[in-house]
């Protein structure tokens, strides 16, 4: 799988990374996360093929396979654009990265550090024009935009990017990895269930009965259109959200209760985490949300009022026109394969005592309960009207907010950062390393004081800002 990746650099890191002959991303314990580029001006791949088998005690005919199977070595081939302190141009190089050393020998049996998860091709460094990026994405440079404050303003002034080839899935080790299905895994699951239509629903809040009404009504409409087995992709956001939003682990537990209580049918529903951060960028962002679901195999996408929108950070008004998101999706290039399903407004019917589609002719009978009001109910211990949310799902929210009050603010989970959401929990910091070939062995390490042994030089911390 290949996807674009962009990382931010400060000025000092940009200079040092640009000047280094070999650059990689490594975790705090020296585990290789990604190779950005590797130059070996005098050492060719043929040389490596001659001495590596004997070095590792492997037979000539199977040394590559055994090294790869053990994840001890990573063969890379890059076309790299050189930007700083190196002659400009394209350079083709092959390389093998050795990651762990046991004594003086590289030991296949004792390889226990994290194996490499990715490799990057066509790397380039370019200025991080923050103001232009913010203006083009959000349509405003007003202060107080959540994602801007979290990830863009504190980021470096340079970006380093390229095509990232993922060698194995990234594990977050947070108990939710089984929900993180790749697009291909989702397609396989749809095929396994015999889906002839897939409709996607994205949300960043707990599922209430109004959401369920929309999803169940969409399935009814698809059946009326002639489809035999429409499958729902419930695709909650798993990346950065605002600090006052319900955390992902709590939301996923609540979603499971919704299925257990039968509000949604487990046989026709697939729950999977959508790993993207939430930008709150309105009509611009909703195009990304829709196109990503096409890759996952969806051909219908449910869109509501003001998708990906938010209130203006400094004025008392919506940041975007509530109808523009739906309009953009109807005309944006690349969305021809996706059928947009605008849904009706759902509210609590005080007469029927349940969530129902809003009827303007009797507007006085309907109560609108926003996400903010729902969270306020849970925080204060006040129960919402009967029929607003399934009992099991509501209990999850109440227990969560009770735990915050009991343990105090110090024990409350800190708002997730972009770095912690995009990288596994046991790799809290991503660092740039420059490294060099020494005695025909490429060494990678983490301590600058052991330069002779490790042949490495830590250059800067970095935050992934996909």
* Neighbour count for residue 191 (Cβ, 10 Å): 10
CATH architecture of residue range(s) 177-278+344-411: 3-Layer(aba) Sandwich (3.40)
Of 129 and 169, the one with more pLDDT: 129
pLDDT at residue number 394 = 97
- Output DSSP code: residue 204: S
Choose among 262, 13, 23, 219: nearest CA to 119. 23
pLDDT at residue number 371 = 83
Q: For the whole model, what pTM was predicted?
A: 0.70
Give CA torsion, residues 153, 159, 164, 168, to 10 deg.
-50
Choose among 197, 208, 126: nearest CA to 389. 208
Q: How far apart are CA 389 and CA 385, in angstroms?
A: 9
The pLDDT of 219-241, averaged and rounded, is 96
Helix (H, G, I), strand (E, B) or coil at 447: coil
Task: Please say if the pLDDT value at position 24 is more than 70.
Answer: no
Within the chain, all domains assigned CATH 3.40.50.620 are found at 177-278+344-411
C-beta of residue 130 within 8 angstroms of C-beta of residue 81: no
Q: Which residues pair with 208 in a beta bridge?
A: none
C-beta of residue 296 within 8 angstroms of C-beta of residue 200: yes
Of 332 and 271, the one with more pLDDT: 271
Residue 134, phi then psi, degrees to nearest 5: -65, -45
Q: Which residues pair with 230 in a beta bridge?
A: 197
- Output DSSP code: residue 115: P
pLDDT tens for residues 238-265?
A: 999 998 899 999 999 999 999 999 999 9
The pLDDT of 164-181, averaged and rounded, is 82
Residue 119, phi then psi, degrees to nearest 5: -140, 150
Of 66 and 108, the one with more pLDDT: 66
Segment holding 161, helix H or strand E: strand 158-166
Residue with tokens 């994405």: 137
pLDDT at residue number 74 = 32
Which pair of tokens denotes residue 300? 């219908």
Q: How far apart are CA 247 and CA 251, in angstroms?
A: 6
Task: Please say if the pLDDT value at position 35 is more than 80.
Answer: no
C-beta of residue 237 within 8 angstroms of C-beta of residue 204: yes
Choose among 38, 6, 29: nearest CA to 436. 38
In sequence order, which residues have a C-beta less than 8 Å from that of residue 240 and are 6 or more positions away?
Answer: 146, 147, 150, 151, 277, 278, 416, 417, 418, 421
- Output DSSP code: residue 58: -
* Residue 124: alpha-carbon gap to chain centroid: 22
Q: How confident is the model at residue 356 (pLDDT cuts 50, 70, 90)?
A: very high
Q: Which residues pair with 303 in a beta bridge?
A: 342
Of 108 and 179, the one with more pLDDT: 179
Helix (H, G, I), strand (E, B) or coil at 219: helix
Q: How far apart are CA 448 and CA 433, in angstroms?
A: 10
In the sheet that holds 366-367, the strands lie side by side as: 354-357, 346-349, 366-367
* Neighbour count for residue 166 (Cβ, 10 Å): 15
- Output DSSP code: residue 152: I
pLDDT tens for residues 4-22?
A: 556 677 777 667 666 655 5
Task: Please say if the pLDDT value at position 68 is more than 70.
Answer: no
In sequence order, which residues have a C-beta less than 8 Å from that of residue 42 and are 6 or more positions away?
Answer: none
């Amino acid at each position: 799988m290949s996807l674009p990746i962009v990382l931010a650099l400060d000025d000092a890191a940009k200079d040092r990374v640009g000047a280094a002959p070999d650059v990689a991303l490594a975790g705090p314990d020296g585990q290789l996360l990604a190779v950005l580029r590797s130059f070996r001006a005098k050492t060719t791949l043929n040389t490596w093929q001659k001495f590596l088998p004997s070095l590792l005690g492997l037979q000539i005919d199977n040394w590559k396979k055994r090294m790869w199977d053990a994840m001890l070595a990573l063969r890379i081939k890059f076309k790299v654009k050189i930007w700083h302190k190196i002659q400009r141009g394209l350079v083709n190089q092959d390389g093998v990265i050795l990651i762990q050393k046991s004594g003086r020998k590289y030991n296949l049996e004792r390889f226990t550090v994290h194996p490499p998860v990715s490799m990057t091709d066509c790397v380039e460094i370019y200025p991080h024009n923050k103001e232009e990026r913010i203006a083009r994405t959000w349509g405003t440079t007003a202060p107080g935009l959540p994602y801007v404050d979290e990830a863009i303003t504190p980021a470096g002034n340079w970006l380093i990017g390229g095509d990232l080839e993922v060698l194995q899935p990234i594990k977050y080790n947070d108990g939710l990895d089984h929900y993180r299905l790749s697009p291909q895994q989702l397609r396989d699951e749809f095929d396994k269930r015999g889906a002839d239509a897939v409709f996607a629903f994205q949300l960043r809040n707990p599922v209430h009965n109004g959401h369920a009404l929309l999803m169940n009504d969409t399935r009814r409409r698809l059946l009326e259109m002639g489809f035999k087995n429409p499958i729902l992709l419930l695709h909650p956001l798993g990346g950065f959200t605002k600090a006052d939003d319900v955390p992902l682990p709590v939301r996923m537990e609540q979603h499971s209760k919704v299925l257990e209580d039968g509000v949604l049918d487990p046989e026709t529903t697939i729950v999977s985490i959508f790993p993207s951060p939430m930008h709150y960028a309105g009509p611009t962002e909703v195009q990304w949300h829709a196109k990503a679901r096409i890759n996952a195999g969806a051909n219908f996408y449910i869109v509501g009022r003001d998708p990906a929108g938010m209130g203006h950070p400094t004025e008392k008004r919506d940041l975007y026109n509530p109808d523009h998101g739906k309009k953009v999706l109807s005309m944006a290039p690349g969305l021809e394969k996706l059928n947009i399903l605008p849904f009706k407004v759902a509210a609590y019917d005080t007469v029927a005592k349940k969530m129902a589609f809003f009827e303007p002719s009797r507007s006085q009978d309907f109560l609108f309960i926003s996400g903010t009001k729902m969270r306020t109910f849970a925080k204060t211990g006040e129960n919402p009207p009967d029929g607003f949310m399934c009992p099991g799902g509501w209990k999850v929210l109440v227990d969560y907010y009770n735990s915050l009050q009991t343990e105090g603010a110090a024990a409350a989970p800190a708002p997730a950062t972009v770095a912690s959401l995009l990288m596994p929990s046991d790799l809290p910091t991503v660092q740039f390393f420059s490294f060099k070939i020494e005695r025909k062995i490429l060494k990678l390490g983490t301590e600058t004081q052991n330069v002779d042994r490790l042949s490495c030089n830590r250059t800067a911390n970095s935050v992934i800002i996909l």
